[in-house]
Amino acid sequence: MEYKTCVLTTWRQFVLIYFIGVKAAEPSGDGGGWSLDSDYRLQDEGLCNIDVLDRSSLSHQQFIERYAYSRPVILRGLTDNTRFRSLCSRSSLLEEYGELRVRLSTANTYSYRKVDVPLQEYVDVLLRPQSADVLGSETLYFFGDNNFTEWQRLFDQYKSPPYVLPRTSGAYSFGIAGPGTGVPFHWHGPGFSEVIYGRKRWFLYPPDKGPHFHPNRTTLSWVTEIYPQLPEEEAPLECTISPGEVLYFPDRWWHATLNLDTSVFISTFLG
């Protein structure tokens, strides 16, 4: 019998959450060469109040009945993306795609500014830890807006989650982000998100319970200033996912993300 234990902070201090019978995620090894600064890591993974299940314990039909249209879930052991992960190491990506231009977006909720730069420049110059006092409109990072022709060879190696929704097809969104970055609260259609390197903390609210947030403030500032003051009835669903874990979010659920390390990640949007 194995357990996942989360130590909670602020008004959640000293509470321990146990998930019984769930295998721990595989360690991330050397991080694929993406560690920017070993001293800069956001250590607080927070609590995990989202179901965490192995694929072996959840059939496709059970996924549809219990989660697909009602609540998020974290799944382990869905696919073996060892090959894709090796291709996403820092050296491999820069060797293959370093000269390609990638489209960066601002980290605010409603109006995104776009900037195109070579991947090499983004990784060498712009991929930095987030400062809590910088506005979302001033924060640029790479999350999606992929040129599918140029990135097709990489995406061909990715094994997407096998659970699908009826009458939908998947579209990939690939990204690389520094510690402390993240997308503030927003919503769209359903999808899966998998971490390839690093750790990503998620905060989610159902469609009928919108969060309190400023659309031009970053997730890091929300976690620092708003989150600790939330009354218990306004707390989000949340969890931190690591390599080997996939989070599913249903249609129109509000969600925000916070990268705890330099992270490489891919989402499969179901449209």
- Mean of the per-residue pLDDT values for the chain? 86
Which CATH number is 3-25+42-270 given?
2.60.120.650
Question: What is the structure's pLDDT at 18?
Answer: 29
CA dist 193 → 149, 176, 267 (Å): 21, 13, 4
Q: What is the pLDDT of residue 15?
A: 30
Q: What is the pLDDT of residue 139?
A: 87
How many CB atoms sit inside 10 A of residue 113's CB?
12
Task: Tokens for 154, please give them.
Answer: 């990489």
Please tell me the pTM assigned to this model.
Answer: 0.86
d(CA 54, CA 119): 35
Going from N- to C-terminal start, the domains of the chain cover 3-25+42-270
3-state secondary structure of 11: helix
Q: What is residue 95's predicted lDDT score, i.e. its pLDDT?
A: 97
Contact 235, 206 (CB under 8 A): no
Q: What pLDDT shows up at residue 41?
A: 61
Q: What does the block give as tokens for 3?
A: 């357990």
Q: Tell me which residue of 34, 40, 1, 15 sits closest to 220, measured CA to CA.
A: 40
SS3 92: helix
pLDDT digits (tens, 9 = 90+) for 146-188: 888 999 999 999 999 999 899 999 999 999 999 999 999 999 9
| Res 156: pLDDT | 96
pLDDT digits (tens, 9 = 90+) for 6-20: 333 333 332 333 232
Q: Write down the pLDDT at residue 72.
A: 98
**pLDDT averaged per 10 residues, the chain (length 271):** 37 32 41 71 85 95 97 96 96 96 88 89 91 86 88 96 92 94 94 96 96 91 94 96 96 96 95 88
